[in-house]
């Protein structure tokens, strides 16, 4: 009798990564203490291209632009770490323009990686009564610059 085998080869989510890249030749800073990491939702809108020649008495759609989306992640507070320092700096507004720094955001889950241009919308503590202090970072993800999915 053959040894039992899985019907698929599952991958553990452990080892997910997030990095921010700053500068013209990006300097990458890893974000540590990550909790659950979910891929940014980059589903395109649907464009209605239904016309008098649409087949089968059915509507027709085509993919539209990829939306700029919010992406949030919770991480354990690692006060003073390189990641905490980078996110604190990225959360600050420019004193003259009021803008936030555009940078690269790389998300890696299960061996798949996506890199987007982004700005950090917010970086704040989230405290549970009987739990660890977490930090929540929320980015606005825009153009995809690399996708190894």
What is the mean pLDDT of the segment spanning 117-138?
90
User: Where on the phi/psi map is residue 74: left (φ > 0), alpha (ψ -120 to 50), or beta?
Assistant: beta
- pLDDT, residue 62, reads 95
Output the CA–CA distances (angstroms, integers) from residue 86 to 2, 54, 104, 125, in the order listed. 53, 52, 12, 15
Residue 7 lies in a domain: no
Q: How do residues 94-125 score in pLDDT, each as one tens digit?
A: 999 999 999 999 999 888 899 999 999 999 99
Residue 12 lies in a domain: no
Q: How do residues 57-95 score in pLDDT, each as one tens digit?
A: 999 999 999 889 999 999 999 999 999 999 999 999 999
Residue 64 lies in a domain: yes
- Print the domain residue range for 72: 17-147
Domain count along the chain:
1
Residue 105 lies in a domain: yes
Q: How do residues 21-52 score in pLDDT, each as one tens digit?
A: 999 999 999 999 998 888 788 888 999 999 99
Q: Residue 149 pLDDT more than 60?
A: no
Answer for the pair 19, 28: CB distance below 8 angstroms, yes or no. yes
Cα separation, 33 vs 76, whole angstroms: 5
CATH assignment of the domain containing 68: 4.10.410
- pLDDT, residue 32, reads 92
Residue 122 lies in a domain: yes
């Amino acid at each position: 009798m053959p040894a039992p085998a899985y019907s698929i080869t599952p991958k553990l989510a452990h080892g997910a990564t997030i990095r921010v890249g700053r500068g013209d030749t990006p300097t990458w800073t890893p974000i540590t203490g990550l909790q659950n990491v979910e891929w940014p939702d980059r589903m395109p809108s649907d464009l209605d291209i239904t016309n008098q020649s649409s087949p089968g008495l059915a509507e027709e759609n085509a993919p539209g632009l990829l939306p700029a989306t919010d992406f949030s992640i919770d991480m354990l507070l690692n006060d003073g770490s390189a990641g905490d320092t980078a996110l604190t700096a990225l959360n600050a507004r420019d004193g003259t323009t009021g803008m936030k720094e555009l940078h690269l955001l790389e998300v890696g889950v299960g061996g798949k990686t996506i890199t987007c241009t982004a700005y950090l919308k917010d970086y704040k503590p989230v405290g549970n009564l009987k739990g660890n202090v977490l930090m929540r970072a929320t980015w606005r993800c825009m153009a995809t610059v690399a996708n190894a999915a």
